[in-house]
Chains A and B, each alone.
Chain A
Amino acid sequence: MSIDNLYQEIILEHYRHPQGKGISLENGVEVHHVNPSCGDEITLRAAIMDEKVGVSYDNTGCSISQASASMMWELVHGKPATEVLALEAEFLALMQSKGQGTDEDESLSDAIAFVGVSQFPARVKCALLPWMALKDALLQNLRSNNE
């Protein structure tokens, strides 16, 4: 198992040129998640407007967590909330697949590259950090919309 599986070119590309980075959204629910074992941090703001999810974020951390945030942003920004939550579940399943992938991972498009990360247990939580933050912010949004 080589680290080239971990650091696939598309991942390094997103790490070097992160998409959507910087808090640009003016309102929405803001969450702050950290990975206490390595100090990675993400601040993420999400809002649901006209059924569509708006996301912006800022983060520090390793290449895997930065690339994951960048690809996540590309994948979910402007999509309906239910679809975003389904993608989150799919990504989680991918990360738990220990390198096997899942049946429906095509929906993740470029983020399928993270299947390599799922072979490195110590790095799985790096990849999941932005997704956990997003899920937290979305669920808070949905709860407050229901109130």
Chain B
Amino acid sequence: MIDVAAVKRDFPILSQRVRANRELIYLDSAATSQKPESVINAVSRFYQNTNAAIHRGAHALAEAATVEFESAREKIAHFIGAQSHEICFTKNATESINAVTYMFLNETIKAQRGIQVENPHFALQAGDEIVLTQMEHHANLVPWQELALKTGAELRFIPLNTEGRLDLSDLESIINNKTRVVSFVHQSNFLGTINPVNSIINRAKQVGALTLLDACQSVPHLTMNVKSIDVDFAVFSGHKMLGPLGVGVLYLKDPNSAPVFLTGGSMIEKVTLEKSTYAQAPQRFEAGTQAAAEVIGLAAAVDYLEQIGMEVIHRHELALTKLALEGLMQIPQVNIIGPTDLQERGGIISFTLADLHPHDVGQVLDEQGIAVRVGHHCAWPICTYFNVPATTRASFYLYNDEHDVEMLVSGVTRTLDYFGVS
């Protein structure tokens, strides 16, 4: 059980009043989460006491900053069951996914020029296949489209079904001997669906394909262990898990055999005018001065989450989801887009309301202090599949409670009244 009243007090922003002096009902954590005081303080403490460029310089501050940064890395790595050197920091999950696609592109170009590549796994040829799903966030779609365009590889998709889950019936043919990489979302940010990670990864392994898990909506909400799912890459964003904006994570199972993507200062071993060799992981992936305060803030967020417990958080969100689904489904004009049961799903609910446009729904909810997301949620192909222009999305986190859900449900009814829909 989460003592939500106590949790809410840890998040200064949640006591704010919005619009016409309404209490703020924040149901948009899938876009970005709010930050507890402990995270805000960790960031400001770093700037007040420790600020220096990490891994550079031997003075007291530089040393202290480096130690804090590296112990933050260790904490964040352990949180997902990884070792320190297996994670590197980026600016967000989008950058992490792009980084992996550039590993492929760079090695492909080198191979085409006859340059020996460190890891032939990453060198693509025309006709090679990249497998994604029909429910990907644009962050896990557009970079692969670009890669396919530049390399001649082809994209294939595991399709959706009308329930908002993946249809795995053709998995054996979609993931086949031509498949070089399979990249997919763990929990959909649009539908709330949690995908069958093991079935997909096992099939990818049978054909020797690399795997990437977009864990943006799972690491913040579930117990996650990258070793037990045995994935090659996993990505997530700190800002969706109570951490600061501006820091993302890329987990690499075999970091020292993965090609570098950003090059420059701090990632080198030895440099001459003609050529350079590169540091071991994780430094080899962290070119330039790092966002140390943000990383340290993210470690404080991990502390906060661990203190409550990821199992507890997941159960709490499922209880709210159950309540919300029951309440919303009693309103005949509501159409849930995504699973309507609690099996393999998390605390994200997308819906349409009569033929009202979600922008209008969101506006009337906002008037009542209820913050939801409206639009295509950066997963336009899902809208196309369900033939809706957009949806309204509510997403829950550890600081939400039953009252927030009741406000949402009554807010939806009020929206119908406002526009005179019966």
Residue among A1, A3, A64 making CB contact with B359, cutoff 8 Å: A64
Number of contacting residues on B, CB 8 A?
Answer: 19
Q: Least Cβ distance of A113 to chain B in Å?
A: 16
Stretch from A24-32, A35-43, A74-82, A101-109 at the B interface: A35-43
**B392 to A: closest C-beta gap in Å:** 11
Q: Is the CB of A6 within 8 A of B359?
A: no
Chain A positions within 8 Å of B383 at CB level: 39
Question: Given A12, A41, A60, A64, which contacts B419 in the complex, CB threshold below 8 Å?
Answer: A12
B375 touches A63 (CB 8 A): no
**For the complex, is B85 an interface residue (Cβ under 8 Å from A)?**
no
Q: How close is B416's CB to chain A, nearest CB, in angstroms?
A: 14
Q: Contacting A2 at CB < 8 Å: which of B20, B359, B374, B419?
A: B20
Q: Is A48 an interface residue (CB 8 A)?
A: no
Whether a CB of chain B sits under 8 angstroms from the CB of A14 is no
Interface 0/1 of B319-363, CB less than 8 Å to A = 000000000000000000000000000000000000011111001
B261 within 8 A of A: no
The answer, yes or no, to whether A20 is at the interface (CB within 8 Å) is: no
A99 at the interface (CB under 8 A from B): no
Does A126 touch B at the CB level, under 8 Å? yes
B67 to chain A, nearest CB (A): 42
Nearest CB in chain A: distance from B245 CB, A: 19
Q: Kindly identify, within residues 47 to 81 of chain A, every residue whose CB is under 8 Å from any CB belonging to chain B.
A: 60-64
Q: For residue A120, which residues in chain B have a CB less than 8 angstroms away from its CB?
A: 363
Contact in complex: B375, A37 (CB < 8 Å):
yes
Task: Flag whether A123 is at the interface (Cβ < 8 A).
Answer: yes
Instruction: Contact check, A61 vs B357: say whether CB atoms are below 8 A apart.
Output: yes
In the complex, residue of chain A having the shortest beta-carbon distance to the beta carbon of B383: A39
Identity of the chain A residue whose Cβ is nearest the Cβ of B363 in the assembled complex: A3
> Which single member of B363, B375, B380 contacts A6 (CB below 8 Å)?
B363
In-complex Cβ contact of B389 among A1, A7, A39 (8 A): A39
Decide yes or no: A123 and B363 within 8 Å by CB, A2-B20, A38-B374, A39-B383 being known contacts. yes
In the assembled complex, which residues on chain B have CB atoms less than 8 Å from the CB atom of A63? 356-357, 359-360, 419
Do the beta carbons of B367 and A62 come within 8 Å of each other? Answer: no
Contacts of B356 in A (CB 8 A): 63
Interface centre among A12, A38, A123, A126 (most CB of B within 10 A): A38
* Chain B residues, CB < 8 A from A3: 363-364, 367
Complex Cα–Cα for A126 and B389 (A): 14
State whether B20 touches A61 (Cβ < 8 A). Answer: no
Identify the interface centre among B19, B360, B363: most chain A CB within 10 Å of its CB.
Answer: B360
A contact residues around B364 at 8 Å (CB):
3
Instruction: Give Cα distance in the complex from A123 to B19, angstroms.
Output: 16
Measured between alpha carbons, how far is A12 from B363 in the docked complex, in Å?
Answer: 14
How far does the Cβ of B324 sit from chain A's closest Cβ, in whole Å? 23
List A contacts of B376 (CB < 8 A).
Answer: 38-39
Which B residues are CB-close (under 8 A) to A40? 357, 359, 389
Contact indicator B367/A2 (Cβ below 8 Å): yes
A126 to chain B, nearest CB (A): 7
In the complex, residue of chain A having the shortest beta-carbon distance to the beta carbon of B388: A39
B19, B363, B389: the one contacting A61 at CB < 8 Å is: B389
Interface centre among A1, A37, A41 (most CB of B within 10 A): A37
Q: Which of B20, B359, B383, B390 has the most chain A CB atoms closer than 10 A to its own CB? A: B359
- Shortest distance between the CB of A19 and any CB in chain B (Å): 18
B389: A residues at CB distance < 8 A = 39-41, 60-61
Interface residue from B19, B20, B360, B418 paired with A62 (Cβ < 8 Å): B360
Assess whether A39 is in contact with B363, with CB atoms less than 8 Å apart: no
A82 CA to B418 CA, complexed, in Å = 39
Closest CB in chain A relative to B356 CB, distance in Å: 8
**In the docked arrangement, what's the CA distance between A2 and B363, Å?**
11
A135 to B341, CA, bound (A): 48
Q: Give A1-26 as 1s and 0s: 1 = Cβ < 8 Å from B's Cβ atoms.
A: 11100110000100000000000000
Contacts of A2 in B (CB 8 A): 20, 367
CA distance in complex: A7, B361 (Å): 12
The 10 closest A-B pairs by CB, nearest first: A62-B359, A62-B357, A3-B367, A38-B375, A39-B390, A39-B389, A39-B376, A63-B360, A62-B360, A60-B389
Known A2-B20, A37-B375; 20 more pairs at CB < 8 Å? A1-B20, A6-B363, A7-B363, A7-B418, A12-B419, A38-B358, A38-B375, A38-B376, A39-B376, A39-B380, A39-B383, A40-B359, A41-B389, A62-B357, A62-B359, A64-B359, A64-B360, A120-B363, A123-B363, A126-B359
Interface positions of A (Cβ within 8 A of B):
1-3, 6-7, 12, 37-41, 60-64, 120, 123, 126
In the complex, 20 of the A-B residue pairs with CB atoms within 8 angstroms, ordered by the A residue number, are: A1-B20, A2-B20, A3-B363, A3-B367, A6-B363, A7-B363, A38-B374, A38-B375, A38-B376, A39-B375, A39-B390, A40-B357, A40-B389, A41-B389, A61-B359, A62-B357, A63-B356, A63-B357, A63-B360, A126-B359
